[in-house]
Structure 1
C-alpha cells in the first residue's frame, strides 16, 4: 500500500523534474513497463517527448500539485498550471491525473486537462 507521504513525495519529485526540465531524471520515477493511457504508450520515453513538446509550446509552463488523494496503490492529483495564458480570461489551466504506484514508482497514468488554449491541451500531443 502506498502512503500519502510516499505518493506526495513521488508526485512532487516528478513535478520538480518537469519544472526544472530534468526530463531524463523523471524516467527513474517510472517503472520500465509504465503505461500512459492518454498517450497509449508503454515506457516513459513518449512521456519525455510529450513534456518536450509542451515546453516548446509554453516555455514558462510549470505544474504545481494542489491536491493529492491516495487510495491503496492509486494517487489522484489535481495540479494548477502556470505560465500559460488562459484564453479570454478563462480559469487557469489545470491537470487531473491518476497514477498507479508500484514499489515506489509510477506504473500507470490516466489524465485529463482543462483551461488550455484550443488545440494545445496535453491530450492533443498524440496528434502532433
Structure 2
C-alpha cells in the first residue's frame, strides 16, 4: 500500500522528470501496463512520445502542481502550465487523476483548461 506521502512524491517526481526533460527516468514511475485514458494508449511510451512532441513545440514549458489531493489509491492534481509563450493571457491548467498501484502510476485521466499544449 502506497502512503499519502509516497503518492504525492510520486506525482512530483513525474512532474520533475517532465520539467527537467529526464523522460527516460520517468519510465520507472509507471506500471508496464500503464493506461493513459486521454491518449487512448497503454504503456509509458505513448505518454513519453506526447511529452517529446509538446516540448519540441514549447521548449520552455513547465508543469507546476498547485494542488494535490489524495484519496486511497487515487491522486488528483491541478497544475499550472508555464513557458508556452504568447498564448494570450490564458495559461493552461491541467486536471489529472492518477491511480497508483504498488507505488507506481497505473492509470490516468485528465483534461486541459485553456490553450491545449498538444494543439
Q: TM-score, with normalisation over the residues of structure 1?
A: 0.87
Q: Which residue of 2 aligns with 1:43?
A: 43
Over aligned residue pairs, what C-alpha RMSD do you find? 1.4
Q: Which residue of 2 aligns with 1:95?
A: 94
Structure 2 Cα separation of the partners of residues 109 and 69 of structure 1: 14
Q: Which blocks of at least 5 consecutive residues in structure 2 are unaligned?
A: none
Residue 30 of structure 1, CA deviation: 0.1
Q: Which residue of 2 aligns with 1:59?
A: 59
Q: Which residue of 2 aligns with 1:84?
A: 84
Q: Secondary structure at the match of 1:68?
A: strand
Structure 1 Cα separation of the partners of residues 16 and 106 of structure 2: 19
Are positions 1:26 and 2:12 aligned together? no
User: Does the C-alpha gap of structure 1 residues 14 and 4 become closer, same or farther in structure 2, counting only changes over 3 Å?
Assistant: same
Residue 2 of structure 1, CA deviation: 3.6
Structure 2 Cα separation of the partners of residues 28 and 87 of structure 1: 33
Residue 115 of structure 1, CA deviation: 1.6
Please give the residue correspondences for 1:63-78 in structure 2 after superposition, counting only pairs within 5 Å. Answer: 63-78=63-78
Structure 1 Cα separation of the partners of residues 64 and 22 of structure 2: 16
Q: Which blocks of at least 5 consecutive residues in structure 1 are unaligned?
A: none
- 1:97-125 per-residue CA deviation (whole Å, 9 max, x = no partner) reads 00000000000000111121xxx444x5x
Q: Secondary structure at the match of 1:87?
A: coil
Q: Secondary structure at the match of 1:88?
A: coil
Residue 60 of structure 1, CA deviation: 0.2
